[in-house]
Amino acid sequence: MGLVYAVTEISSIKGDAGSYTMPFLVDTGATDTVIPSNELEKIGVTRENKRSYELADGTVVSFDSGFAFVCVNGEKVAANVVFGKEGCEPLLGVTVLESAGFVVDPVSRMLKKIAAIPLK
């Protein structure tokens, strides 16, 4: 399928401390969205939890997480975000994609808006 990127804006749910906007690698294998910790700290996102995550190679690691607004293709949702290592590539996880009503179109390698978000 190839790599898919989506310009994504992250902002704090606690106030107006700016935002972080970058092309995020869309990772349908990742549950949560990962952002470099220094960027989350700059915009006022606070660490709320510590969670264990399994990486692609099977390694289990622990990361801090918090809550932020995530806006992708004009759709804004509240989401759990992971404080990634400083300088890491930002990843857009499947939870945000589903909450915002998007799927990945493998032919166009773009996000596609679904007609309705399932509640069944």
Domains and CATH numbers, the chain: 5-113 (2.40.70.10)
Does the pLDDT of residue 15 top 80, yes or no?
A: no
In the chain, the percentage of residues whose pLDDT exceeds 90 is 80
Longest dimension (CA), the chain: 39
Instruction: Tally Cβ neighbours within 10 Å of residue 72.
Output: 22
Does the pLDDT of residue 1 top 70, yes or no?
A: no
**pLDDT tier, 37 (very low <50, low <70, confident <90, very high otherwise):** very high
Torsion angle (degrees, nearest 10) of CA 93, 17, 44, 99: -20
**pLDDT tier, 106 (very low <50, low <70, confident <90, very high otherwise):** confident
Stretch 88-109: mean pLDDT? 93
- Pairwise CA distance, residues 48 & 115, whole Å: 34
